[in-house]
């Protein structure tokens, strides 16, 4: 119970810090808007929405720094605390196929769902690209493929999972970290996104249990975010193609999941030629 409460406590600390940073950044945006002559409530809100991608990136960077400091200042062994262990390249390939396949199924099934946060982020990216060509695309890549995977995996698998696993067991750690991972996405996409991210959280939990490496989860998370750049309503106009892809990726996910967990535990010794040492 102590480990469970500690894990949830760290999660709440992470969420509170994120909210505080976002509120502070909102005030900064309001000040910037006033400085350039934007005064109307509707105009300020529109200006804030246009800059939501930038605020998300800054918030993510500050969150990563915050998580690092709360462990570094007490001089804790971050590498062991967060399971920043070595990993095998062949295992990363399998986990990438696994998470990309599952995320593809979810993306295709919810292609017509109106997820407000995704719409605002896409609109913000267009705004940045209108000022500097491709700037929005670069910022989207930075956010979805670098900052978000690192921040979320540090918080949920690096901290919450490991706190609970130490004092309880891996099953409780996997379930609780997955549920919290889903809940933290409620404001971004409602119950649909909560369900999808909770299921993906279960997969990430299984992966850190299997491979004992947060790096594997971070890379797998990056692959899970790739479908956001691939599947759009404009591209997926054929119902038959969409159903076909859902079937293919469902089979791929189940096949790779079975393959991964048929192997021996993550404590195996890997071939040194395929092993990536901690930097």
What are 237-268's pLDDT values in tens digits? 788 899 999 999 999 999 999 999 887 654 44
What's the average model confidence in pLDDT over 213-217?
Answer: 96
Phi, psi of 215 (to 5 degrees): -60, -40
Lowest-confidence pick of 25-39, 173-187, 240-254: 25-39
Tokens of 153: 């995996």
Mean pLDDT across the stretch 138-144? Answer: 95
Residue-level pLDDT at 1: 75
When pLDDT is averaged across residues 42-64 and rounded to a whole number, the result is 94
Quote the pLDDT of residue 266: 43
Q: Smallest Cα–Cα separation from 111: which of 241, 259, 236, 224?
A: 236
pLDDT at 58 over 50: yes
Q: CA–CA separation, 182 vs 275, rounded Å?
A: 32
Res 130 pLDDT > 80:
yes
**Whether residue 68 has pLDDT greater than 80:** yes
More confident residue, 193 or 114: 193
Q: Indicate if the pLDDT at residue 270 is higher than 60.
A: no
Q: Where are the alpha helices (DSSP H) in 88-169?
A: 89-109, 116-131, 135-142, 148-153, 162-167
pLDDT score recorded for residue 269:
43
Mean pLDDT of 144-164: 95
Model pLDDT, residue 264: 66
Give the model's pLDDT for residue 104: 96
Residue 39 DSSP class = -
**Across all residues in the chain, what is the average pLDDT?**
90
**pLDDT exceeds cutoff 90 at 115:** no
Specify whether the CB–CB gap between 105 and 249 falls below 8 A: yes
Taking the model in full, what pTM does it have? 0.89
Instruction: Give the pLDDT score at 40.
Output: 85
Give whichever of 2-11, 39-48, 199-208 has the largest mean pLDDT: 199-208
With a pLDDT cut of 70, the percent of the chain lying above it is 94
Look-up of token digits 């350039």: 36
Query: Who's near 195: CB < 8 A, 6+ residues apart?
Result: 182
Of 178-187, 227-236, 259-268, the poorest mean pLDDT is in 259-268
Q: What confidence score (pLDDT) does residue 274 get?
A: 40
Task: Please compute the mean of the pLDDT values over residues 60-66 and round it to a whole number.
Answer: 96
pLDDT on residue 85 = 93
Closest CA to 127 of 36, 54, 25: 54
Q: Measured between alpha carbons, how far is 124 from 47 in angstroms, rounded to an integer? A: 10
Q: What is the CA radius of gyration of the chain?
A: 20
Q: pLDDT tier at 135 (50, 70, 90 boundaries)?
A: very high
CA 194 to chain centroid, in Å, comes to 12
């Amino acid at each position: 119970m102590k480990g469970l409460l500690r894990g949830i406590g760290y999660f709440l600390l992470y969420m509170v810090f994120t909210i505080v940073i976002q509120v502070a950044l909102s005030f900064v945006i309001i000040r910037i808007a006033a400085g350039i002559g934007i005064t109307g409530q509707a105009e300020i809100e529109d200006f804030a929405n246009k800059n939501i991608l930038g605020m998300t990136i800054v918030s993510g960077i500050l969150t990563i720094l915050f998580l690092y400091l709360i462990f570094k200042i007490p001089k804790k062994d971050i590498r062991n605390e967060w399971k920043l262990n070595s990993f095998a390249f062949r295992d990363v390939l399998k986990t990438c196929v696994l998470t990309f396949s599952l995320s593809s199924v979810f993306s295709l099934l919810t292609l017509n769902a109106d997820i407000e946060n995704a719409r605002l982020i896409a609109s913000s990216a267009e705004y940045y690209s209108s000022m500097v060509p491709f700037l929005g695309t670069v910022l989207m890549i930075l956010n979805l493929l670098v900052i978000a995977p690192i921040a979320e995996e540090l918080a949920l698998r690096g901290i919450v999972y490991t706190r609970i696993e130490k004092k309880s067991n891996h099953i409780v750690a996997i379930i609780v970290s997955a549920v919290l991972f889903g809940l933290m996405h409620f404001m971004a996409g409602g119950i649909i996104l909560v369900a999808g991210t909770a299921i993906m959280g279960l997969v990430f939990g299984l992966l850190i249990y299997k491979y004992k490496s947060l790096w594997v989860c971070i890379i797998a998370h990056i692959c899970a975010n790739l479908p956001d750049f691939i599947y759009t309503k404009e591209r997926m106009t054929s119902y038959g193609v969409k159903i076909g892809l859902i079937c293919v990726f469902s089979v791929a996910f189940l096949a790779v999941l079975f393959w991964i967990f048929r192997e021996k535990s993550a404590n195996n010794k890997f071939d040194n030629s395929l092993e990536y040492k901690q930097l």
